């Protein structure tokens, strides 16, 4: 089965939840950017929209959706296995990576993880 077949078989409820979470994190990101730039009166509204808001919306939507798709692939890989004892090293590494990517993407921490290289609550 190819990747496009897996993506085409996404259940509608899963797609709805993915869109809902993506929009929630996008709105949340825009609100935090508005809070950050509200005191800076030297920047025009157009500059704020282009510089901060559009980037934040795209960033949050793409990373949240990729988290949902990563967990969808994990589900497909686990359901296609005959026995959990037959997992190879490469498959295990991919599964661990996809699980971490999916959970951090759905929880909204993936953009912070990508940008800073660490989770926000872990001190330097």
Which is nearest to 20 in space by CA: 76, 60, 73, 70? 60
- The whole model's pTM is what? 0.79
Q: What is the pLDDT of residue 65?
A: 92
| Selection from 9, 16, 3 nearest residue 65 by Cα | 16
pLDDT per residue as tens, the chain (124 positions): 677 887 788 888 999 999 999 999 988 888 887 787 777 677 777 777 777 788 888 888 999 999 999 999 999 888 888 888 888 888 889 999 999 999 998 988 887 777 776 655 666 5
Contact 120, 112 (CB under 8 A): yes
Rounded-to-integer distance, Cα 51 and Cα 70, Å: 29
């Amino acid at each position: 089965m190819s990747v496009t077949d897996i993506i085409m078989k996404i259940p509608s409820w899963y797609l709805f939840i993915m869109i809902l979470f993506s929009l929630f994190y996008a709105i949340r990101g825009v609100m935090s950017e508005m809070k950050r730039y509200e005191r800076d009166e030297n920047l025009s509204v157009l500059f704020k929209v282009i510089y901060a808001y559009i980037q934040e919306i795209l960033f949050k939507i793409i990373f949240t959706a990729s988290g949902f798709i990563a967990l969808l692939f994990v589900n497909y890989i686990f359901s296609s296995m005959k026995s959990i004892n037959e997992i190879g090293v490469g498959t295990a590494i991919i599964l661990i990576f996809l699980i971490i990517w999916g959970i951090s993407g759905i929880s909204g921490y993936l953009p912070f993880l990508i940008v800073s290289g660490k989770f926000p609550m872990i001190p330097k």
